Amino acid sequence: MTLVSKETMRLTTVFLILGGALLLMTLEAEPSLTARAGFSVEQEPRKEIKIDPKRFDEFVGQYTFLDNPDVVLSFWRDEGKFFVQATNQSKWEVFPESKTTFVRKVFPVQMTFVRDGAGKVTGLIWKRDNEERQLKRTSNQPAIDILQPFEKREAMIPMRDGVHLHTLIFTPANQAEALPILFNRTPYGVGQNNSESVNRRFREFVKDGCRSTRAPIRMTRLTGS
Protein backbone atom coordinates (compact mmCIF):
# COMPACT_ATOMS: atom_id res chain seq x y z
CA MET A 1 0.00 0.00 0.00
CA THR A 2 1.46 3.33 -1.03
CA LEU A 3 0.42 6.81 0.00
CA VAL A 4 1.07 9.62 -2.43
CA SER A 5 0.92 12.91 -0.56
CA LYS A 6 -0.28 16.13 -2.16
CA GLU A 7 0.88 18.67 0.39
CA THR A 8 -0.82 21.66 -1.19
CA MET A 9 -4.23 20.05 -0.80
CA ARG A 10 -3.35 17.95 2.26
CA LEU A 11 -4.75 14.93 0.49
CA THR A 12 -3.33 11.45 0.57
CA THR A 13 -4.36 8.98 -2.11
CA VAL A 14 -4.30 5.30 -1.21
CA PHE A 15 -3.95 2.79 -4.01
CA LEU A 16 -4.64 -0.74 -2.77
CA ILE A 17 -4.42 -3.86 -4.92
CA LEU A 18 -6.36 -6.85 -3.63
CA GLY A 19 -6.29 -9.94 -5.81
CA GLY A 20 -5.50 -7.87 -8.86
CA ALA A 21 -8.34 -5.37 -8.27
CA LEU A 22 -7.48 -1.73 -7.76
CA LEU A 23 -9.20 0.19 -4.99
CA LEU A 24 -8.81 3.95 -4.66
CA MET A 25 -9.41 5.97 -1.52
CA THR A 26 -8.63 9.62 -0.85
CA LEU A 27 -8.01 10.63 2.73
CA GLU A 28 -7.39 14.04 4.26
CA ALA A 29 -4.21 13.88 6.30
CA GLU A 30 -1.05 15.72 7.15
CA PRO A 31 1.91 14.43 5.07
CA SER A 32 4.00 14.11 8.22
CA LEU A 33 1.35 11.85 9.77
CA THR A 34 1.50 9.41 6.87
CA ALA A 35 5.25 9.15 7.20
CA ARG A 36 5.02 8.51 10.96
CA ALA A 37 2.37 5.88 10.33
CA GLY A 38 4.93 3.84 8.42
CA PHE A 39 3.62 4.32 4.89
CA SER A 40 6.04 4.95 2.06
CA VAL A 41 5.71 8.25 0.23
CA GLU A 42 6.72 8.45 -3.39
CA GLN A 43 8.69 11.63 -4.02
CA GLU A 44 10.91 11.07 -7.03
CA PRO A 45 9.38 10.57 -10.50
CA ARG A 46 10.22 7.48 -12.48
CA LYS A 47 13.03 7.85 -14.98
CA GLU A 48 11.83 7.03 -18.49
CA ILE A 49 14.14 6.01 -21.31
CA LYS A 50 13.54 5.83 -25.05
CA ILE A 51 13.51 2.47 -26.83
CA ASP A 52 12.75 1.33 -30.35
CA PRO A 53 8.99 0.54 -30.15
CA LYS A 54 9.54 -2.69 -32.09
CA ARG A 55 11.61 -4.05 -29.20
CA PHE A 56 8.39 -4.27 -27.19
CA ASP A 57 6.88 -6.78 -29.62
CA GLU A 58 8.68 -9.71 -27.99
CA PHE A 59 6.82 -8.94 -24.73
CA VAL A 60 3.34 -8.85 -26.29
CA GLY A 61 0.96 -11.45 -24.90
CA GLN A 62 -0.80 -12.65 -21.75
CA TYR A 63 0.79 -13.17 -18.34
CA THR A 64 -0.92 -14.92 -15.42
CA PHE A 65 -0.25 -14.32 -11.72
CA LEU A 66 1.01 -17.55 -10.17
CA ASP A 67 -0.70 -16.72 -6.87
CA ASN A 68 -3.98 -15.70 -8.55
CA PRO A 69 -4.51 -17.41 -11.92
CA ASP A 70 -7.84 -15.62 -12.46
CA VAL A 71 -6.00 -12.33 -13.01
CA VAL A 72 -4.26 -11.99 -16.37
CA LEU A 73 -2.21 -9.08 -17.67
CA SER A 74 -2.23 -8.44 -21.42
CA PHE A 75 0.56 -6.38 -22.99
CA TRP A 76 0.50 -4.85 -26.45
CA ARG A 77 1.86 -1.98 -28.51
CA ASP A 78 -0.07 0.70 -30.38
CA GLU A 79 2.43 2.46 -32.63
CA GLY A 80 4.95 3.99 -30.22
CA LYS A 81 2.91 3.50 -27.05
CA PHE A 82 2.92 0.46 -24.75
CA PHE A 83 -0.13 -0.77 -22.86
CA VAL A 84 -1.15 -3.33 -20.25
CA GLN A 85 -4.65 -4.37 -19.27
CA ALA A 86 -5.62 -6.56 -16.33
CA THR A 87 -8.68 -8.78 -16.35
CA ASN A 88 -11.84 -6.61 -16.31
CA GLN A 89 -9.80 -3.43 -15.86
CA SER A 90 -9.05 -0.37 -17.95
CA LYS A 91 -5.87 -0.33 -19.99
CA TRP A 92 -2.79 1.48 -18.65
CA GLU A 93 -0.01 3.07 -20.59
CA VAL A 94 3.39 1.92 -19.36
CA PHE A 95 6.81 3.46 -19.89
CA PRO A 96 10.27 1.87 -20.21
CA GLU A 97 12.83 2.24 -17.43
CA SER A 98 15.15 -0.18 -19.18
CA LYS A 99 15.00 -2.57 -22.13
CA THR A 100 13.07 -5.10 -20.02
CA THR A 101 11.48 -3.04 -17.21
CA PHE A 102 8.35 -0.92 -17.59
CA VAL A 103 6.45 1.22 -15.08
CA ARG A 104 3.13 2.94 -14.68
CA LYS A 105 3.47 6.61 -13.79
CA VAL A 106 0.23 7.01 -11.85
CA PHE A 107 1.32 4.73 -9.04
CA PRO A 108 4.62 2.91 -8.50
CA VAL A 109 4.29 -0.50 -10.11
CA GLN A 110 7.33 -1.95 -11.85
CA MET A 111 7.08 -4.80 -14.35
CA THR A 112 10.25 -6.63 -15.40
CA PHE A 113 10.14 -9.27 -18.13
CA VAL A 114 12.05 -12.51 -17.52
CA ARG A 115 13.84 -14.75 -20.05
CA ASP A 116 14.86 -18.38 -19.91
CA GLY A 117 18.32 -19.70 -20.70
CA ALA A 118 17.59 -19.55 -24.43
CA GLY A 119 16.61 -15.89 -24.26
CA LYS A 120 12.88 -16.50 -24.69
CA VAL A 121 10.50 -14.31 -22.66
CA THR A 122 8.71 -16.64 -20.24
CA GLY A 123 7.24 -14.39 -17.58
CA LEU A 124 7.58 -11.20 -15.62
CA ILE A 125 8.04 -9.90 -12.08
CA TRP A 126 5.42 -7.47 -10.75
CA LYS A 127 7.01 -5.29 -8.07
CA ARG A 128 5.25 -2.83 -5.81
CA ASP A 129 7.11 -1.33 -2.86
CA ASN A 130 8.95 -4.31 -1.36
CA GLU A 131 6.55 -6.96 -2.62
CA GLU A 132 7.28 -9.07 -5.69
CA ARG A 133 4.83 -11.33 -7.51
CA GLN A 134 5.62 -13.79 -10.27
CA LEU A 135 3.70 -14.11 -13.52
CA LYS A 136 3.94 -16.79 -16.18
CA ARG A 137 3.56 -16.06 -19.87
CA THR A 138 0.56 -18.05 -21.10
CA SER A 139 0.00 -16.68 -24.60
CA ASN A 140 1.73 -14.66 -27.29
CA GLN A 141 -1.56 -12.92 -28.10
CA PRO A 142 -3.01 -10.24 -25.80
CA ALA A 143 -6.67 -10.40 -24.72
CA ILE A 144 -7.75 -6.84 -25.49
CA ASP A 145 -11.26 -5.78 -24.50
CA ILE A 146 -13.24 -4.39 -27.42
CA LEU A 147 -15.65 -1.95 -25.83
CA GLN A 148 -19.05 -0.96 -27.22
CA PRO A 149 -19.04 2.82 -27.77
CA PHE A 150 -21.93 4.61 -26.07
CA GLU A 151 -23.22 8.10 -26.67
CA LYS A 152 -23.85 9.94 -23.41
CA ARG A 153 -26.40 12.63 -22.65
CA GLU A 154 -27.67 14.18 -19.43
CA ALA A 155 -31.19 14.99 -18.32
CA MET A 156 -33.01 16.24 -15.22
CA ILE A 157 -35.94 13.86 -14.87
CA PRO A 158 -38.94 15.36 -13.00
CA MET A 159 -40.61 13.35 -10.24
CA ARG A 160 -44.28 13.67 -9.29
CA ASP A 161 -43.48 15.96 -6.35
CA GLY A 162 -41.40 18.32 -8.50
CA VAL A 163 -37.96 17.00 -7.58
CA HIS A 164 -35.63 16.52 -10.56
CA LEU A 165 -33.14 13.65 -10.70
CA HIS A 166 -29.85 14.16 -12.52
CA THR A 167 -29.75 11.26 -14.98
CA LEU A 168 -27.21 9.98 -17.49
CA ILE A 169 -28.50 8.18 -20.57
CA PHE A 170 -26.16 5.93 -22.57
CA THR A 171 -27.15 4.77 -26.04
CA PRO A 172 -25.06 2.46 -28.27
CA ALA A 173 -23.37 4.61 -30.89
CA ASN A 174 -24.27 2.15 -33.65
CA GLN A 175 -27.86 1.46 -32.55
CA ALA A 176 -29.96 0.42 -35.53
CA GLU A 177 -33.06 -0.96 -33.80
CA ALA A 178 -35.17 -0.56 -30.69
CA LEU A 179 -33.39 -1.90 -27.61
CA PRO A 180 -34.43 -2.67 -24.04
CA ILE A 181 -33.52 -0.07 -21.41
CA LEU A 182 -31.60 -0.87 -18.24
CA PHE A 183 -32.43 1.47 -15.34
CA ASN A 184 -29.84 1.75 -12.59
CA ARG A 185 -30.26 3.78 -9.39
CA THR A 186 -27.41 4.70 -7.05
CA PRO A 187 -26.94 6.81 -3.89
CA TYR A 188 -23.44 7.85 -4.91
CA GLY A 189 -23.97 10.29 -7.78
CA VAL A 190 -23.58 9.57 -11.49
CA GLY A 191 -21.30 12.28 -12.90
CA GLN A 192 -18.22 10.07 -13.08
CA ASN A 193 -19.82 7.49 -15.37
CA ASN A 194 -18.78 7.17 -19.01
CA SER A 195 -18.89 4.74 -21.92
CA GLU A 196 -16.13 2.55 -20.49
CA SER A 197 -17.70 2.28 -17.03
CA VAL A 198 -21.00 1.16 -18.61
CA ASN A 199 -19.16 -1.54 -20.55
CA ARG A 200 -17.45 -2.88 -17.45
CA ARG A 201 -20.31 -2.59 -14.96
CA PHE A 202 -22.95 -4.11 -17.26
CA ARG A 203 -20.77 -6.38 -19.39
CA GLU A 204 -23.38 -9.10 -20.04
CA PHE A 205 -26.15 -6.62 -20.80
CA VAL A 206 -23.91 -4.77 -23.24
CA LYS A 207 -23.20 -8.02 -25.09
CA ASP A 208 -26.92 -8.69 -25.44
CA GLY A 209 -27.61 -5.12 -26.55
CA CYS A 210 -29.27 -2.53 -24.34
CA ARG A 211 -29.52 1.14 -23.53
CA SER A 212 -28.61 2.26 -20.03
CA THR A 213 -29.76 5.01 -17.73
CA ARG A 214 -28.06 5.76 -14.44
CA ALA A 215 -29.69 8.07 -11.90
CA PRO A 216 -29.12 8.89 -8.23
CA ILE A 217 -31.66 8.32 -5.52
CA ARG A 218 -32.94 11.47 -3.86
CA MET A 219 -30.93 13.71 -1.55
CA THR A 220 -27.74 13.48 -3.62
CA ARG A 221 -25.77 16.13 -5.48
CA LEU A 222 -27.28 17.70 -8.62
CA THR A 223 -30.71 16.54 -7.54
CA GLY A 224 -33.25 19.15 -6.55
CA SER A 225 -36.49 20.90 -7.26
DSSP helix/strand/coil, 82: strand
Q: What is the pTM of this model?
A: 0.57
* Averaged pLDDT score across all residues of the chain: 75
Higher pLDDT: 208 or 217? It is 208
| DSSP sequence for 98-110 | SSSEEEETTTTEE
| pLDDT for the residue numbered 1 | 43
Does the residue 190 lie in any domain? yes
| pLDDT for the residue numbered 219 | 43
Does the residue 225 lie in any domain? no
| pLDDT for the residue numbered 101 | 96
User: Does residue 120 sit in the same domain as residue 187?
Assistant: no
HEC per residue, the chain: CEEEEECCCCEEEEEEEECCEEEEEEEECCHHHHHHCCCEECCCCCCCCCCCHHHHHHHCEEEEECCEEEEEEEEEEECCEEEEEECCCCEEEEEECCCCEEEECCCCEEEEEEECCCCCEEEEEEEECCEEEEEEEEECCCCCCCCCCEEEEEEEEECCCCCEEEEEEEEECCCCCCCCEEEEEECCCCCCCCHHHHHHHCHHHHHHCCEEEEEECCCCCCCEC
User: Does residue 12 sit in the same domain as residue 70?
Assistant: no
| pLDDT for the residue numbered 214 | 56
Express each pLDDT in 98-131 by its tens digit.
999 999 887 789 999 999 999 999 999 999 988 9
What does the alpha-carbon distance between residue 18 and residue 6 come to, in Å, rounded to a whole number? 24
Higher pLDDT: 146 or 213? It is 146
Q: Which domain holds residue 116?
A: 53-139
User: Does residue 134 sit in the same domain as residue 155?
Assistant: no
User: Does residue 59 sit in the same domain as residue 133?
Assistant: yes
User: Does residue 79 sit in the same domain as residue 129?
Assistant: yes
User: Does residue 155 sit in the same domain as residue 188?
Assistant: yes
User: Does residue 70 sit in the same domain as residue 122?
Assistant: yes
Does the residue 144 lie in any domain? no
What does the alpha-carbon distance between residue 98 and residue 49 come to, in Å, rounded to a whole number? 7
Q: How many domains does the chain have?
A: 3
Residue 73: burial class (beta carbons within 10 Å; 0-12, 13-18, 19+) = buried
Q: CATH number for the domain including 113?
A: 2.40.128.50
Q: Which of 139, 169, 202 is the last residue of a domain?
A: 139
Express each pLDDT in 24-67 by its tens digit.
444 344 444 344 444 444 445 567 889 999 999 999 999 999 99
User: Does residue 129 sit in the same domain as residue 162?
Assistant: no
User: Does residue 159 sit in the same domain as residue 209?
Assistant: yes
Q: Which of 109, 139, 169 is the last residue of a domain?
A: 139
User: Does residue 57 sit in the same domain as residue 28?
Assistant: no
Give the residue ranges of DSSP H helices in 45-201: 195-201
Does the residue 145 lie in any domain? no
User: Does residue 130 sit in the same domain as residue 155?
Assistant: no
Q: Above 90 in pLDDT, residue 74? A: yes
Express each pLDDT in 152-209 by its tens digit.
888 888 888 888 888 888 888 877 777 778 777 777 667 777 777 776 677 666 666 6
